[in-house]
Structure formats: structure tokens, C-alpha cells
Chain A
Amino acid sequence: EVQLVQSGAEVKKPGESLKISCKGSGYSFTNYWIGWVRQMPGKGLEWMGIIYPGDSDTRYSPSFQGQVTISADKSISTAYLQWSSLKASDTAMYYCAKSTGIVGASDAFDIWGQGTMVTVSS
């Protein structure tokens, strides 16, 4: 079964750092883009960025460039999303998702992780 399993919910304070993970299984992890999507409470989906684990080619939405870092470790089939200094406005559900492999970096996502809720509060 193709699946993405994300790390658990996090509660952090403003200014703290955080790295959340997304582990793929059941498919060739290096051959499909993995994207990250933010959903703030009660709001819509926001495309943050995407990485190709095979060569670590990474693209960011202008809205998130410089705010987060996307990385991957293909040896353990895991992608990451990290912050160096969290803000209260980073409070959201974060989803990782696997591309269909048809188009490229702007591809659709056919498999989604269960989501990681990040709460940033003093």
C-alpha cells in the first residue's frame, strides 16, 4: 500500500525551531515529488513547496520562500519541513503529499499524509 506517514502533533513556543517529517512507503520514494501544504484553522489549502527526493531539487511558493526549509533523506524515504523560528501565525495543519508523477513540480497530489498539527503559543 502506498502511504505517507507524518510525525505527530507539536506544541511549541514562539521563536523555537521545529522539524516535522513525512515517511513514504509502498512506492519508489526517489521518483516522485513530495509537496507540503498548509491549512490554517478554518481556512483553505496553501501550496508551500515541493522536493524531488531523487536529486533534492526543491521549489518554494514565493509566500513561503525563506520562511521554511524543505528537505529529504532518500536513504530513509523521509521528507522534512522545518522552521528556524516559529511564529504564532505558523499554527496550522501541515500535510505532505506525493505527486502523481505525470507532470512534474506542478503536479497533482494523489497520496496525502494524515497531517501534522503545529500549535505555536506562548
Chain B
Amino acid sequence: SYELTQPPSVSVSPGQTARITCSGDALPKQYAYWYQQKPGQAPVLVIYKDSERPSGIPERFSGSSSGTTVTLTISGVQAEDEADYYCQSADSSGTYQVVFGGGTKLTVL
């Protein structure tokens, strides 16, 4: 079955840049999406179509893609950005199996 791989955790100090990666064989052919989830809350879409930002999402959130890896970058991290982050994409085999990555816990030191 198709898998997306994320690091379990990333830690940064306030004001620094956080980069969270997501790897998958089909990422060159399929869009990736990113969600932020805070404890006790539903996920929130922060990036779609690899690098597009929904309205209302701060400019410090950006996405990029290179080969089989996509990256969520949070510039000038703030304490409120501490959360779990998940990537989502699909395989390209024709079955369109959609999966989430395992999630990355972002800790703001």
C-alpha cells in the first residue's frame, strides 16, 4: 500500500524557520496537501496543491516540492504554531489510494 513518510518530530525556537518534509514515490505526479492539528481540534488545511495557501492562513506558511519530497516551511515560527502537521496525497497507480503521512509534532522551544 502507498505510504507518505514524515519525521515524527521537529523542534525550533521562536522566530526560526521550521521545515517539515513528506516523502512518497508518487509525489512528482500527485498534489500534496498539508494540515495543522492542535490538541482537541479538527485539522486545518494550511497548504494545497503543493504550494497554494488558503485564505486566512498566515504568509509564514509555505509549501514546496522537489522530486519525491514535499516540504512545509514555517518562517518566523510562533508559539501558536506548535501542533501536529500532516501531509496528504494519493498514489498514481490508477487506484487513487489517498493517504495521510504519519504526522510531525512541531515543538516550539
Q: How many residues of B sit at the interface, in one of the four size bands?
A: 20 to 34
Interface contact A45-B35, CB-CB below 8 Å: yes
Chain B residues, CB < 8 A from A110: 45, 48, 54
- Within the complex, the shortest CB–CB distance from B101 to chain A, in Å, comes to 8
The interface residues of chain A, by DSSP majority, are classed as: loop
Instruction: Tell yes or no: A61 within 8 A of B by CB.
Output: yes
Instruction: Tell yes or no: A112 within 8 A of B by CB.
Output: yes
Interface contact A108-B45, CB-CB below 8 Å: yes
Within 8 A of A (CB), among B85-109: 86, 88-90, 95-103
Chain A residues, CB < 8 A from B61: none
Interface contact B42-A106, CB-CB below 8 Å: no
Closest 9 CB pairs of A and B: A106-B90, A108-B33, A112-B42, A44-B103, A108-B48, A45-B100, A47-B98, A106-B98, A110-B45
